[in-house]
Structure 1
Amino acid sequence: MKTKDTQVEKPTSNGPSLTREEFLSAYHDMLLIRRFEEKTGQLYGMNLIGGFCHLYIGQEAVVTGIQMNLREGDKLITSYRDHGQMLAAGMDPRGVMAELTGRATGYSRGKGGSMHMFSREKNFYGGHGIVGAQVALGIGLAFANQYRGTDEVAVTYFGDGASNQGQVYESYNLAALHKLPCIFVIENNKYGMGTSIERASASHELYKNGAPWGIPGLRVDGMDVAAVHAAAAEAVAHCRAGKGPYLLEMMTYRYRGHSMSDPAKYRSREEVDQVRKLHDPIEHVRHILLDAGVEESTLKDIDSKIKAVVNDAAEFAQTSPEPDPAELYTDIVLEA
């Protein structure tokens, strides 16, 4: 349905738009995120991970489909629900898990934890605990790309709960004004903490929120990696061509609570089970692969290898040393 020249709602893809090899790659990457997050939940329950921890289970197709369109030099920034983005960006599961458990071998040397990891090597500029703060930083990354004269893009992820923050609209304005190569990705999982989007936002079509500034927007089935891939390809091409920012609203769903401390009593078990049964992004790709002639044993082998990687990461994290107390006084002030 076309509502404006630049605002288009995209339904679920009706058929495979990726090659068999691309679907296999997507299946691997989504399953890695799923198994990693399941292990993270286990370690949190064993008190081996402290503080806040937000799992990405259910939303794997979003970051996977987008990442398939990116190349070296493109930059990523996201919120506190960030483990999936880290793994999709190619960060080492060992280093991510070590940071989650507060070990010196973690990406932030054990001082950042779940919400504050960073990898300059992978152009991952962090999870951020302040709701919506990463959006303004994301257009800064896009400005840096433009200033340096590259065609690299910046992708900034945020949720439906952050979508009505004032700094988000300020970011839309500046990005449109300067035609910054920034892809705004709203991961609409229907709940901002425990508040449904219907109760929190007068706008129920978040992909139109950039319309006052002329920012093109798409609403996409975020549980379908092929649909995400197609929409992201359009957004990336738009930004690389110097046409300014692009807004993607990914309709997705998280199976767990907002964080590990959230019992998620604001929604029924039937609601969650229905999404798992009918719209699970990994099962969707699994069925596509089986229909394409991929053997069940091949998919089981992928799962087995991923479980070994995740178990290795957990073992590495638990046997790594904790930071030296002197680390409390490092990374505070840079004298130049």
Structure 2
Amino acid sequence: MTEQNNAGQSRPDSATDGRNHPGLTTDQLKQAYYDMLLIRRFEEKAGQLYGMGLIGGFCHLYIGQEAVVVGLQMAQKDGDKVITSYRDHGQMLAAGMDPRGVMAELTGRATGLSHGKGGSMHMFSREKNFYGGHGIVGAQVALGIGLAFANKYRGTDEVSITYFGEGASNQGQVFESFNLAALHKLPCVFVIENNRYGMGTSVERASASKALWKNGEPWGIPGKQVDGMDVEAVNAAAKEAIAHCRAGKGPYLLEMSTYRYRGHSMSDPAKYRQRSEVDEIRQKHDPIDHVRNLLKAAGVDDADFKEMETKVKEIVADATEFAKTSPEPDPSELFTDVLVGE
């Protein structure tokens, strides 16, 4: 049994694999596959550069969580704002930020998006409405509702997409933000990226709330739990949440059930979980493999996949070479962009 997508090409019905297919076209799936593959290969290279000593400080990789940001980004429009935590490289690429600038920032070069002064955790692009990765756990949530307030104050229908992890979900400022967002009906989509482990502690051990998508209920914030490894399910939920916000109905909470394949950061050996757990997710629930299987069933051949892989590798190689050959910031940059009170 098959269903016809909007591009007129058939795909297997959801009954054949037990997963939800809300209906991305084959062309949209190809774009999602490409975007997720770019994030995956970029992050793999970032991990290599960190091991070589070319990236200093912290580095939190997004490998395994690609479907979350890609599915959400596909549901957004120009003008919507995005803010996230320190696991931010994937969001930057999905937002359309130049891979050269992202890699240069990771390696602390003057050509980086934050001029080499932000590094892995603190990048920013006003042009792409990306308001930063933030190193303080949960701090970006309060800023996210500030962005939503600005949208409402200006009378636009733009929304704020505010990402945070399950480890940040019980921070006091998160609940304060829920209260204000609900009180003022702010157009903010709260996105919990529940990858099961905050630092080295599982969510089961750290959270009395076992259904994080219900955490907004005391303030009347609707929520939904979503398979964050399925880009179509993410996209469908994102469309619903964003439409809710655009209609002036206030905030919406999405809990994305996802998984990170690597440790919390590059210094984390992740010995708090079994290797078999990671292998099972990779083999049975990988977000990129899932879309690849859908595309194969829709008639996309190996040549198309090879072409996308080649293009992605070229982009990552170019970004890496650009970063390696770019200059470090001038010492005078120590005194720029610094606010001094009197």
TM class by shorter-chain length? over 0.9
Q: Is the 8 A contact 2:22 2:236 kept in 1?
A: no
- Is residue 64 of structure 2 the alignment partner of residue 58 of structure 1? yes
- Is residue 327 of structure 2 the alignment partner of residue 321 of structure 1? yes
- Is residue 314 of structure 2 the alignment partner of residue 304 of structure 1? no
Match of 2:78 in 1: 72
User: What is the correspondence of 1:166-185 to structure 2 with a 5 Å cutoff?
Assistant: 166-185=172-191
Match of 1:248 in 2: 254
Aligned with 2:230 (options 224, 240, 251): 224
Q: Deviations 1:51-102 (Å, cap 9, x if unpaired)?
A: 0000000000000000001111100000000000000000000000000000
Q: What is the rounded CA distance, in whole Å, between the counterparts of 2:293 and 2:123 in structure 1?
A: 34
User: What is the correspondence of 1:122-161 to structure 2 with a 5 Å cutoff?
Assistant: 122-161=128-167
Match of 2:7 in 1: none
Q: CA deviation at 1:14?
A: 2.7
Match of 2:10 in 1: none
CA RMSD of aligned residues (A): 1.2
Q: CA deviation at 1:16?
A: 5.7
The letter for the 1-side match of 2:252 is Y
Q: What is the rounded CA distance, in whole Å, between the counterparts of 1:73 and 1:15 in structure 2?
A: 28
The letter for the 2-side match of 1:247 is L
Q: What is the rounded CA distance, in whole Å, between the counterparts of 1:162 and 1:78 in structure 2?
A: 11
User: What is the correspondence of 1:198-209 to structure 2 with a 5 Å cutoff?
Assistant: 198-209=204-215
Q: What is the rounded CA distance, in whole Å, between the counterparts of 1:239 and 1:282 in structure 2?
A: 29
The letter for the 2-side match of 1:63 is V
Unaligned runs of 5+ in 1: 1-11
The letter for the 2-side match of 1:204 is K
Q: Is the 8 A contact 2:22 2:233 kept in 1?
A: no
Q: What is the rounded CA distance, in whole Å, between the counterparts of 2:86 and 2:313 in structure 1?
A: 24
Match of 1:25 in 2: 31
Q: What is the rounded CA distance, in whole Å, between the counterparts of 2:257 and 2:45 in structure 1?
A: 25
Q: CA deviation at 1:13?
A: 4.2
Stretches of 4+ moved more than 4 A in 1? none
Length, aligned pairs only = 325
Q: CA deviation at 1:334?
A: 7.0
2:226 alignment partner, SS class: strand
Q: What is the rounded CA distance, in whole Å, between the counterparts of 1:297 and 1:275 in structure 2?
A: 27
Match of 2:243 in 1: 237
Q: CA deviation at 1:203?
A: 0.4
Q: Deviations 1:132-191 (Å, cap 9, x if unpaired)?
A: 000000000000000000000000000000000000000000000000000000000000
Q: Is the 8 A contact 1:13 1:226 kept in 2?
A: no
Aligned with 1:92 (options 89, 93, 98): 98
Match of 2:5 in 1: none
- TM-score, length basis structure 2: 0.94
Unaligned runs of 5+ in 2: 1-17
Identity %: 77
Match of 1:7 in 2: none
Q: Deviations 1:224-259 (Å, cap 9, x if unpaired)?
A: 000000000000100000000000000000000000
2:253 alignment partner, SS class: strand
2:225 alignment partner, SS class: strand
